[in-house]
Amino acid sequence: MSSVSSNRAPIGVIGTGYVGLVTAAGFAALGSDVYCVDIDAEKIAGLRAGRVPIWEPGLAELIAEHRERLHFSTDLGAALEHARLLFVAVGTPPTYSGDADLSAVHAVVGAMPPSDRHALVMKSTVPVGTGESIERVFAEQGKGFRYVSCPEFLKEGSAVKDFLEPDRVVIGDSGDWAGDAVEALYAPLDAPIVRTDVKSAEMVKLASNAFLATKISFINEIANVCEETGADVVEVARGMGLDDRIGPKFLQAGIGFGGSCFPKDVTALKQLAGNSGYHFQLLNAVIEVNELQKRRVIAKLQKHLGSLVGKEIALLGLAFKPNTDDMREASSLVLSSRLQGAGARVRVYDPVAEEEARKLIRGVVFAPAATEAVAGADAIVLVTEWPEFRELDLAAAVQSMRGTLLVDGRNFIDPEAARAAGFVYEAIGRPSPHGAR
Ligand code: UDX
């Protein structure tokens, strides 16, 4: 960040989920007054009282620090009165057909009054062509509203840092004041700015997420081949990642990707292509590999335990990744259901996501600590690589168990340490002394 000005354009932010709140807090930190709007009255009342509804490192602190510049309301009035740029960060969840559900976006568009001095800045991930159709709606209604696509690339767990230090800012617009105004807002971050047309900006977002998801499914398949051939995927990824053209990131094999973006955006892009008459074969495979990857853990357990009927299985970690309480599309959801389907009894522990998980996972025992989840278990499955699981006293853990199996779904625990402690240790794509699987 090169400078923080106290005299910056006020903005509106519609939708106070992950993206909306981080965007709001980030721009407040850069000096803007931010008028946040959400239809959820309870959430707004909480935010006014200083309660941050999501668990995201540094976010509550940033909101508290810039409270005087953050205004929360269920009403658009103040945002429209004070700000020209209205950032839209409402949910676009998948529908049954795999298309994005744009009803919340359409509700926002419909709520805009006629105005020549405002612009909608789309942060929500939308199909390519959404901006064009919104611009057409505005034109037909004679509203004069401008439209900018400004996709968000932040990652949960490091969202505040990602906002303040983005790899790039993508701004798609039709060449009027609004695109320049968005660029001016982001200028203090000193990030590369990609100015382009609206459709290309929309596609950058979908293509980036689909590419990253492909990278994960690719390394997961390499891991599966490593298991058959005796190679070690961690070593393979290390060797591959040093090639500049490949890079070391998103090459961690595991039990599949989850979260609010990858599964949804890969499906949305596949669907978008299909709707336009193109069959995106590669993405079908990316999705299928990911689904199978979650289920391979069951076979690893069965290899050692035989039938899982009546077996006690402890899941360590539930969130789709560490440093978040987000359970959307978490691998733990499929795993806990599959385990119960196979007759196992499942106990689970997550340092942060228990409250969210209780809304989605049925029939399992929630333990208050990792040590309590594993005590008496036949096997442990490490699902989410929370740092505290590296601190687990492995010898004490295995002593407290009925069995000795540890399936490390994230290649997170040191194999030597686990085996020295007395565990039968299985990882993803790493040599197993117990033969291929
Ligand atoms: C992702 C994109 O990274 C971000 O740019 C976009 O805005 C939203 O989607 P997020 O879902 O927060 O962010 O998490 P990310 O850190 O990208 O991880 C996604 C999933 O992939 C997690 O389930 C993670 O465990 C998994 N993953 C990631 C792997 O399995 N292996 C890897 O090497 C990296």
1 pLDDT higher than 80: no
Q: What is the reported pLDDT for 437?
A: 47
433 pLDDT higher than 90: no
Question: Ligand 1 centre from 329 Cα, in Å?
Answer: 11
262 C-beta closer than 6 A to ligand 1: yes
7 pLDDT higher than 80: no
- Comparing CA positions, the residue from 337, 344, 421, 334 lying closest to residue 379 is 344
Alpha-carbon distance of 399 to 418, in angstroms, equals 12
188 pLDDT higher than 80: yes
pLDDT level of residue 100 (50, 70, 90 thresholds): confident
10 C-beta closer than 6 A to ligand 1: no
Task: Name which residue sits closest to atom 27 of ligand 1, judged by CA.
Answer: 257
pLDDT level of residue 434 (50, 70, 90 thresholds): low
| Per-residue buried b or exposed e for 332-348, using 16+ beta carbons within 10 Å of the residue's own CB | bbbbbebbbeeebbbbb
Please say whether the beta carbons of 120 and 49 come within 8 A: no
- Comparing CA positions, the residue from 9, 163, 155 lying closest to residue 86 is 9
Question: Ligand 1 centre from 262 Cα, in Å?
Answer: 7
Question: Ligand 1 centre from 147 Cα, in Å?
Answer: 28
280 C-beta closer than 6 A to ligand 1: no
**HSE-CB of 205 using CA atoms within 13 angstroms:** 28
CA angle 186, 172, 7 (to 5 degrees): 25
Chain segment 133-153, per-residue pLDDT in tens: 999 999 999 989 999 999 999
Q: What is the reported pLDDT for 99?
A: 82
Q: Which amino acid would we find at residue 153? A: F
Beta bridge partners, 278, equal none
User: Which residues lie closer than 8 Å to 280 by C-beta, 6 or more apart?
Assistant: 269, 270, 273, 274
Q: Please tell me the pTM assigned to this model.
A: 0.93
Alpha-carbon distance of 301 to 308, in angstroms, equals 8
409 C-beta closer than 6 A to ligand 1: no
Burial group, residue 412, by CB count within 10 angstroms (0-12, 13-18, 19+)? buried
Chain segment 10-27, per-residue pLDDT in tens: 999 999 999 999 999 999
Whole-number Cα distances in Å, 367 to 139, 309, 314, 328, 363: 56, 21, 9, 21, 13
Task: Name which residue sits closest to atom 15 of ligand 1, judged by CA.
Answer: 155
Pocket test for ligand 1, best of 321, 331, 333, 408 (most atoms within 8 A of CB): 321
pLDDT level of residue 342 (50, 70, 90 thresholds): very high
Please say whether the beta carbons of 308 and 337 come within 8 A: no
386 C-beta closer than 6 A to ligand 1: no
222 C-beta closer than 6 A to ligand 1: no
Mean pLDDT (the chain, rounded): 95
Alpha-carbon distance of 436 to 99, in angstroms, equals 39
Q: How far is CA 320 from the centre of its chain?
A: 8
Task: Name which residue sits closest to atom 8 of ligand 1, judged by CA.
Answer: 261
Chain segment 254-267, per-residue pLDDT in tens: 999 999 899 999 99
| Per-residue buried b or exposed e for 372-395, using 16+ beta carbons within 10 Å of the residue's own CB | ebbbebbbbbbbbbbeebeebebe
Chain segment 211-224, per-residue pLDDT in tens: 999 999 999 999 99
Mean pLDDT within 32-61: 95
Q: Which atom of ligand 1 is nearest to the CA of 250?
A: 33
Mean pLDDT within 352-369: 97
Confirm whether 261 is a catalytic residue.
Answer: yes
436 pLDDT higher than 80: no
Mean pLDDT within 233-247: 98
2 pLDDT higher than 90: no
Pocket test for ligand 1, best of 257, 291, 332 (most atoms within 8 A of CB): 257
Mean pLDDT within 240-265: 96
Chain segment 373-422, per-residue pLDDT in tens: 999 999 999 999 999 999 999 999 999 999 999 999 999 999 999 999 99
3 pLDDT higher than 60: no
Alpha-carbon distance of 211 to 192, in angstroms, equals 20
329 C-beta closer than 6 A to ligand 1: no
SS3 88: strand
Task: Name which residue sits closest to atom 28 of ligand 1, judged by CA.
Answer: 250
| Per-residue buried b or exposed e for 237-253, using 16+ beta carbons within 10 Å of the residue's own CB | beebeeeeeeeeebbbb
Q: What is the reported pLDDT for 432?
A: 79
Mean pLDDT within 168-173: 98
155 C-beta closer than 6 A to ligand 1: yes
Question: Ligand 1 centre from 321 Cα, in Å?
Answer: 8
Give me the percent of the chain exceeding a pLDDT of 70. 98
Q: How far is CA 344 from the centre of its chain?
A: 29
Question: Ligand 1 centre from 155 Cα, in Å?
Answer: 7
Question: Ligand 1 centre from 257 Cα, in Å?
Answer: 7
Question: Ligand 1 centre from 160 Cα, in Å?
Answer: 15
Task: Name which residue sits closest to atom 16 of ligand 1, judged by CA.
Answer: 155
23 C-beta closer than 6 A to ligand 1: no
Question: Ligand 1 centre from 327 Cα, in Å?
Answer: 13
428 C-beta closer than 6 A to ligand 1: no
Q: What is the reported pLDDT for 81?
A: 97
